[in-house]
């Protein structure tokens, strides 16, 4: 038998009730759900404090945090849907793997990828996650964070994945400053042995990095000329995606 936590069961009832009724007084919620007034009062107070609910004119309704979370999800879906055809075109042209990544709280998450059709390729699992400090997309996606935010997210001793992993936090911060200025990031076999990568940003209208397109490749596979062509094409693609996102977010 599935176990339930009573308080969460009550919270779930309240959310469902407000979803279908839009807004309601505390007395209505207590009566219609057959819950004690004192219990409902405590739950509602906490949910308002955490912005899951809003109290206006003695009525409760779904709060701004739900809209923030849903809009965040919709935003990433929009980026994914716009970017995917471009990833396909890049992969077909260069016969390499291309992926779209975002900063998801304390990790880097791949939300879309198109792998090379070659038998020998860099494979990326669906919804793959990567550390904040190792990898081209990772460094790019944290390069605009404040110093206090970086200190909160990064450990003093960063995990070492290869001999090239940057494990000193202050050294990493210096590289992040350069990445933020140049708006391009490289992975010199820092996360996986024999795998390099390049990443460029998708920017919003305030010039903030909201996602990254990267191309991981085996270290001996790509010549300098091809590497430059990949960088130029990713830069164009990121610019096009940014323009289309700004159009939808007017």
d(CA 203, CA 222): 27
pLDDT in tens, 188-212: 999 999 999 999 999 998 899 999 9
pLDDT in tens, 67-102: 666 666 777 888 999 999 999 999 999 999 999 999
CATH of domain 6-62: 1.10.10.10
Query: Taking the domains of the chain in order of start, what are their residue ranges?
Result: 6-62, 69-248
State both tokens at 154: 């990064």
pLDDT of amino acid 191: 95
CATH of domain 69-248: 3.30.450.40
pTM of the model: 0.72
State both tokens at 45: 């107070």
Alpha carbons within 13 angstroms on the beta-carbon side of residue 127 total 0
pLDDT category of residue 1 using cuts at 50, 70 and 90: very low
Query: What length is written for the chain?
Result: 250
């Amino acid at each position: 038998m599935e176990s339930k936590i009573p308080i969460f069961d009550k919270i779930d009832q309240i959310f469902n009730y407000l979803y279908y009724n839009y807004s309601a007084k505390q007395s209505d919620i207590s009566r219609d759900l057959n819950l004690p007034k004192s219990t409902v009062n405590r739950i509602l107070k906490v949910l308002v404090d955490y912005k899951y609910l809003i109290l206006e004119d003695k009525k409760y309704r779904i709060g701004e945090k739900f809209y923030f979370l849903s809009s965040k999800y919709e935003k990433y879906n929009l980026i994914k849907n716009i970017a995917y055809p471009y990833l396909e075109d890049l992969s077909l042209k260069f016969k390499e793997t291309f992926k779209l990544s975002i900063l998801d709280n304390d990790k880097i998450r791949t939300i879309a990828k198109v792998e090379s059709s070659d038998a020998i390729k860099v494979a990326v699992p669906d919804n793959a996650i990567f550390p904040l400090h190792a990898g081209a997309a990772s460094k790019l996606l944290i390069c605009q964070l404040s110093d206090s935010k970086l200190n909160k997210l990064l450990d003093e001793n960063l995990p070492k994945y290869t001999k090239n992993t940057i494990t000193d936090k202050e050294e990493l911060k210096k590289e992040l400053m350069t990445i933020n200025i140049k708006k391009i990031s490289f992975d010199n076999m820092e996360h996986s042995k024999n795998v390099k990568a390049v990443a460029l940003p998708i920017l919003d209208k305030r010039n903030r990095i909201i996602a990254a397109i990267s191309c991981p490749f085996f270290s001996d596979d790509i010549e300098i000329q091809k590497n430059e062509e990949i960088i130029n094409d990713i830069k164009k693609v990121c610019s096009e995606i940014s323009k289309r996102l700004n159009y939808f977010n007017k």
